[in-house]
Structure 1
Amino acid sequence: MRYWHRLLASDPGRKRLRTASKVTLSVISSVMVMLIIILYAGGQVTAAIFAGVVGMMGILVVNDDTEKEKKLTTVLLALSSACSLTIGSWLAKWGMAADLFLLLVVFLALYLQRFGSRYFSICMIAFMSFYFATLLKVDFTQVPWLFASILTGILFAYFYNFILIHDKPEEVLKRSMASFHIQANLTLNLVIEIVRDIKMDKQRLLNLDRNVKKLGDYARVVSNELGTTEPGEIWPGLSTSQLRLYIFDTAMLMETLSPSIRRLKEHRALENHAIRSSLLQVIQSIREAEVLNREQVHYLENAAASLQTLRELLWTLNPDEDNGEWLYLIRRIESIANHIIDGAFGLQQSLQQANEHHIGQRTEEQENDEQEEQDEEYGIRPTTKKAIQALIAGGLSIVLGHIYSPAHQYWILLSCFVVLLGTETVGRTLVKAVQRSIGTFLGAIAGFIIAMYLTGIQDIVMLFICVFLAFYLLPISYTLMMFWITMLLALMYDILLGGINQQLMIARVIDTVAGVGLGFAVSALIYPHRTRDKVTTSTVEYLNSLKEYVNNYIDRFSEKHTAFNLADLALELDQLLETLIEDASPLYRGWFGRSGIQQQLTVLTAINFYAKHLTASSTRKSQLNTDERFEDLLNHVQRSLTENIDALSAAVRGEGQARIVNLDEERRQVERLPEKSKSNDHELLNHLRLLHNVHYIWRINESIVYLARQLGAEPKSKDQ
């Protein structure tokens, strides 16, 4: 059962499954219908294969923002494919003219992206149609049949994309939330197993860490869906901020449980039967609570009761040298679990109120800021640079193709063009080039072997399996996608060319390596965008968002506080960090030498962890009660921390001599404040609560100071 649940959760929103299903069904339907037409009206099997190509492209390359735009783009694909096919069949005998036309399409595909994804889609299908026409040496007499293929492929792409398997944003969000809950429960089940077993099982703990990371990925998926979909359409009464806060708290509970359980076992705290039983009861009750189910409020009540039992138990235990540290760990778990339960009750209350008042509609406020962003940098735009790179690399690929493999002169061009798509930096281009080469090599071997043993209908069935697996696995691994695509091409060559031989597949692998090599070389020499420059830009962007987040958090302690959803900012920080890690992957994986990038990412990950705990572990009041001295001191801390973040940004950019300040003295002053006045118990308790709320501020600053000094920053004297 566990593996079944894990399978259900593995594809949040079932996006991969739906996309792969649509592509596969579109290809199958297009090929089968054209085969039937050919059978009764005469014609060549190439028309059926081309219908499948168009049916596949009609779904894959359509990426407009709205459904209306997607439908129009799908229709325009038919016109683009027909024009390109006609020109390709007409220019086939003119050699150089055909080469120039194909280079023009490659250039426009990348250059016109600045005006929207539609133009890229139109040029992409034009490229593939022209490529298909030259590969099969299509003459003018075959064009009418291929026009029928285009019509068939586009009709089925439209049917599956917008009618039969229509992706409604509300359904995607609902399925994504279901995947998030399944993964959360799987993680909690593992926590329960670990807590029950007094012994330290390192393998289980490692498994828990993997599950927590996966849940964090799912949280980001749901958060992104909430950016475009109003949850009130599915669960009347719920707001985006409410649901985001609940997702954030749930993910943070898991991130807190993973290291805390490990340390509790190290301190032998779970050998205390009362603590272990009470903690288990809390975790089990949270797992059983169905937060978005109006009929299951009693599970939340049980969770609240079990949490209160744990809280009362903690009150009976006085911290000492033996239990002081692990009591703090359990109090952290109790604090974040309390946030989840409070948030869940808030969700239930909103659902109940909406149900009682029969709220069936919500006012949807969507801000569609579709203004074209001004390019602030002087000189050539990035899209123009990429188009020039593709033009130069494409020209060299065609020349090399005519020299090395004149029978398939555009194979090298195809690999070169594809490896330049979606690769912003030199490092990403190299990674994609290597992945494509490995996938092609392994796929060619497998495809050659399989093609020898399959015939007739078996080839067709295997071809469809390859289509499904290629696009189902694409978001997971580009190498796996290329493996199945190369197998698919091997089977297509077997069908179209009447057989496949070893020399043909070796030539395909060599052409792929040559193409990706040319693409990488040109990206590294012509208008190169270095990976380090991209990492610097992403790091500075993250630090700017961190500064905004910390300032909004500290403002909660003063009268200038304004309502702000810190969970939204925390989730944005999480997404920016993931983007930074992805941008830096060619560096920390050793493609261009590590040079300290791994240490930098480790510190930034720690900062991100501390930043999220500011919201997760703190009191959820709009404004906290503070005295004048505390507020003045914290304002000074805020200014110093802001300056330190700016100094770290300058150090990352390599600008001058950055100066940073340590806040150890300010921390001591904050912690000594109660000693400077005759405080009653209430005031002392309030101050301790304030200290708890600012605890991670010091941790964030320590990490910033450490990283800035590693990058060359110098301490700032107090009189500066």
Structure 2
Amino acid sequence: MISGFEFRDWLLANDPALSRLRMGTRVTLSILLSFTILLLIHLLIVPLPTASYGLGIVLSIEGGVAVRDKGSASQLVTRLLGCLASLVVVGIAAALESQRVLSDFVFLLVIFLASSARVYGPRGFAIGMFAFTSYFMGSYFHPTIGELPVVLIGPVVSALVSHWVRAVLLPDNWRRDLLRSLESVRGRINQILFKLAALAADGKVDEADRQELRQLEDRLKEVVLMAESFIPRPPGGAFDGASAPAAELAIRLFDAHLATESAIVLSYQSPPSFVLVHAVIEDDKAVLSAQEKAVANMEGQPQGETARALLWLGAARRQLAETIDAGRRSDFAEIASVEEASPSTPIDFSLKNPLMRSALQITLAAAIAMTLGLALSRERWFWAVLASFLVFSNTNSRGDTAIKALQRSIGTLFGIAFGLVLATLLTHHLAVAIAVSIVCVFLAFYFLQISYATMTFFISIVLCLVYGMMGVLTFDLLKLRLEETLIGAVAGTLVAFLVLPARTRGTLDTAVAKWFDALKELLLAVSEKKSQPELIVISQKIDACYRDITLSARPLGSTWSIVTRPGQIRQTLAIFLSVTYWSRILARNNTADAVDEDLKGRITADIGILDRVAPRGSECFLVARKQMRHVSRHLPLWREGARLAVEMIGSTIERLYPTETQDLPFAAGKAIAPVNQE
């Protein structure tokens, strides 16, 4: 039997800060409450047309997913503007109902304007989604002009309910989310320590162990980035000084992450002592004190460096635990909230703006999907347009779009198959069917942030159950939905590849260039003797840029891609990860007193390497490399400090674009850290 604490720990481990849980709950409650209120209005005040219910449900979803403004007041304004846009486009759809050809062309215009509105930021994106879905529902349910006043009740109710659910019932709270994410950081560090204890007991590390540790470290990185995002920062992004409570918390979190990563790296070179790992897990101060004295006599030995890293991890973990306990007691009262303002970006309607190119692609894909969808069905062609529109959402390249189209198609296929069986079994069990539908809605939006295919799977099940409850479920209807979805997905993919394509290489070039710029900024900041909080902020920027590189490179390693060597992609990412790791070492170990002329000379040499290789961009992902092999040389982090970090950054970067003589397992005799992927 799982206890409440065990379930909470499991939930936090899989959903740091419980953001996915809140997303699923908010959308589900908004739909249920909106539908209930609309039903009561229908029964007690005025009969409502079907379009009012449809708009209420769909816009409840958009209110929970598309509204991303900072602050509840801004969110309410966006929702009310979305209601106004909804009324306008539904009115246009109703007025043009008798002129179907003209209505279809106007739908394409609405799609273009809705997509173009994204240049105005989060508010433009949300209002655009409200307009698109409202015209979609207006064309689908065919409300008359006379019904518009009561049809509007649906969007208004959904907006007010969604706002109440998010602002009052399940509000955002950065203090609560920060505490939960810190607890998740500690939990993932504990998982890594347990794995290191198992390795220490075996006395060896094989490739399967390395792979597991890599996965655990990736999960730790995810939740560290999340925790960092909750720490309030001044408008400039950099803390005022090391004495600020927020800066101290950021440094403690940084230390915990870096110490854990270093313990993993050095354990590859020399497996840790089981006694020491167990002492770190138990926070046994007596044993740890004895180990510190023993390590003092192991200068320059691999075992000593591993022990030092574990002792550092023990101290960082203890500080993190103290921070969590203090946060529980005071709710981080010593850290002042900072008003977050959305960064103002210039409005650019030219084709140089990727958002405008995407708007043209979406409109053309929708036109193709509309034409083919109409040929297949005059009543259900909207599904094809919907699929073509959504496959472009949150994608940066044609490869991303193709992946999302594939995910939508697969999710729809399996969702229909499973939903057909489920709807058949629940034909005479209305209450159970409703309950299962509610659960599926929750699961769809719970998984939205991590798997688009899973979300589509559960939504398809819900549609099958709804059709079953309405008595219109047939195999031909579900087959038609799948066909229309495939039409939209294929149309979106073809347009993404053939019309104003955002090439994966181009997107990757941009991400790599930003990473190089951030790395150069760090090296210059060290040379200029900037404060440690400033260096840590820059190193976090490098970490975020590395994450963007991994996302941009994702299509290169997909099974459908022309590139059929994902191992090569992982090797290149390992080198970027290595330099990112050493940049954190540099930011943490550097002090102004340590920046002498020798270190400045080494930094100048590294900057020269950056300037030489950076223009080659994503070419590094196409370089054939020999398979890396592990060596026994340890990494004396504590003895050489910032100098070693600067040296490792330079020698590791040279491996991105190796010559035949440089294509060796390790450059300049140094081991590549933190991990070798192949």
What is the TM-score normalised by the length of structure 1?
0.79
Partner SS for 2:97: helix
**How big is each residue's C-alpha offset from its partner over 1:509-533, in whole Å with a ceiling of 9 and x where there is no partner?**
1111111111111122221110001
Q: Does 1:500 align with 2:481?
A: no
- Counterparts of 2:58 and 2:376, CA distance in 1: 27
Residue 325 (structure 1) aligns with: 302
Q: Is the 8 A contact 1:307 1:338 kept in 2?
A: no
**1:102-501 correspondence runs (5 A):** 102-140=107-145, 142-195=147-200, 206-226=211-231, 239-265=245-271, 270=273, 276-285=274-283, 303=285, 306-317=287-298, 324-335=301-312, 337-338=314-315, 368=341, 370-373=343-346, 380-455=352-427, 456-496=430-470, 498-501=471-474
Residue 588 (structure 1) aligns with: 557
Which residue identity does 2:174 align to in structure 1?
A: P
Residue 519 (structure 1) aligns with: 492
Larger radius of gyration: 1
Q: Which moved more, 1:398-407 or 1:135-144?
A: 135-144
Distance 1:361 1:256, change over 3 A: closer
Q: Does 1:693 align with 2:642?
A: yes
- Give the drift of 1:125: 1.7
Residue 610 (structure 2) aligns with: 645
- Give the drift of 1:458: 3.1
Residue 289 (structure 1) aligns with: none
Residue 541 (structure 2) aligns with: 572
- Give the drift of 1:55: 2.2
Which residue identity does 1:435 align to in structure 2?
A: Q
Q: Is the 8 A contact 1:440 1:509 kept in 2?
A: yes
Residue 290 (structure 1) aligns with: none
- Counterparts of 1:490 and 1:229, CA distance in 2: 49
Q: Is the 8 A contact 1:651 1:712 kept in 2?
A: no
Q: Is the 8 A contact 1:195 1:280 kept in 2?
A: no
Which residue identity does 2:27 align to in structure 1?
A: V
- Counterparts of 1:33 and 1:613, CA distance in 2: 57
- Give the drift of 1:243: 1.3
**How big is each residue's C-alpha offset from its partner over 1:229-262, in whole Å with a ceiling of 9 and x where there is no partner?**
999xxxxx96222112111111122222334345
Distance 1:521 1:216, change over 3 A: same
Residue 512 (structure 2) aligns with: 539
Partner SS for 1:92: coil
Distance 1:81 1:463, change over 3 A: farther
Distance 1:652 1:201, change over 3 A: closer
Q: Is the 8 A contact 1:278 1:309 kept in 2?
A: no
**How big is each residue's C-alpha offset from its partner over 1:465-517, in whole Å with a ceiling of 9 and x where there is no partner?**
22111110011111101111122222333445x32111111111111111111
Q: Is the 8 A contact 2:505 2:618 kept in 1?
A: no
Distance 1:538 1:471, change over 3 A: same
Partner SS for 1:708: coil
Partner SS for 1:407: coil
Distance 1:335 1:149, change over 3 A: closer
- Counterparts of 1:46 and 1:452, CA distance in 2: 27
Residue 582 (structure 2) aligns with: 610
Distance 1:528 1:414, change over 3 A: same
Q: Is the 8 A contact 2:120 2:347 kept in 1?
A: no
Partner SS for 1:62: coil
Partner SS for 1:408: coil
**How big is each residue's C-alpha offset from its partner over 1:292-341, in whole Å with a ceiling of 9 and x where there is no partner?**
xxxxxxxxxx65x654321211234576xxxx322232233334555666
Which residue identity does 1:245 align to in structure 2?
A: I
**How big is each residue's C-alpha offset from its partner over 1:358-392, in whole Å with a ceiling of 9 and x where there is no partner?**
x97766666847433476x9854222211111222
Distance 1:6 1:186, change over 3 A: farther
Distance 1:174 1:238, change over 3 A: farther
Identity of aligned residues (%): 23
Partner SS for 2:67: coil
Residue 87 (structure 1) aligns with: 92
How much is the aligned-residue C-alpha RMSD, in angstroms? 3.6
- Counterparts of 1:330 and 1:106, CA distance in 2: 60
Partner SS for 2:379: helix
- Counterparts of 2:43 and 2:555, CA distance in 1: 51
- Counterparts of 1:448 and 1:485, CA distance in 2: 13
- Give the drift of 1:174: 2.5
Distance 1:402 1:502, change over 3 A: same
- Give the drift of 1:689: 6.8
Aligned length: 631
Residue 288 (structure 1) aligns with: none
Q: Is the 8 A contact 2:111 2:362 kept in 1?
A: yes
Residue 39 (structure 2) aligns with: 35
Distance 1:335 1:428, change over 3 A: same
Distance 1:374 1:211, change over 3 A: same
Q: Is the 8 A contact 2:193 2:281 kept in 1?
A: yes
Q: Is the 8 A contact 1:437 1:509 kept in 2?
A: yes
**How big is each residue's C-alpha offset from its partner over 1:88-120, in whole Å with a ceiling of 9 and x where there is no partner?**
222222102211221111101111211232233
Partner SS for 1:707: coil
- Give the drift of 1:646: 1.3
- Counterparts of 1:200 and 1:433, CA distance in 2: 40
- Counterparts of 1:688 and 1:128, CA distance in 2: 56
Which residue identity does 1:313 align to in structure 2?
A: A
Distance 1:530 1:94, change over 3 A: same
Q: Which moved more, 1:137-146 or 1:571-580?
A: 137-146
- Give the drift of 1:443: 0.9
Which residue identity does 2:525 align to in structure 1?
A: N
- Counterparts of 1:65 and 1:109, CA distance in 2: 21
- Counterparts of 1:484 and 1:184, CA distance in 2: 33
- Counterparts of 1:367 and 1:45, CA distance in 2: 40
Q: Is the 8 A contact 1:177 1:222 kept in 2?
A: yes
Q: Which moved more, 1:100-109 or 1:47-56?
A: 47-56
Structure 2: runs of 5+ lacking an equivalent: 238-242, 621-635, 664-678
- Give the drift of 1:587: 0.4
Q: Is the 8 A contact 2:586 2:646 kept in 1?
A: yes
- Counterparts of 2:400 and 2:108, CA distance in 1: 23
Distance 1:250 1:395, change over 3 A: same
- Give the drift of 1:16: 0.9
Structure 1: runs of 5+ lacking an equivalent: 232-236, 271-275, 286-301, 656-686, 715-720
Q: Is the 8 A contact 2:392 2:401 kept in 1?
A: yes
Distance 1:3 1:254, change over 3 A: farther
- Counterparts of 1:349 and 1:176, CA distance in 2: 13
- Counterparts of 1:258 and 1:159, CA distance in 2: 46
What is the TM-score normalised by the length of structure 2?
0.84
- Counterparts of 2:38 and 2:340, CA distance in 1: 44
Distance 1:530 1:710, change over 3 A: farther
Which residue identity does 2:495 align to in structure 1?
A: V
Residue 529 (structure 1) aligns with: 502
Distance 1:632 1:158, change over 3 A: closer
Residue 706 (structure 1) aligns with: 655
Residue 294 (structure 1) aligns with: none
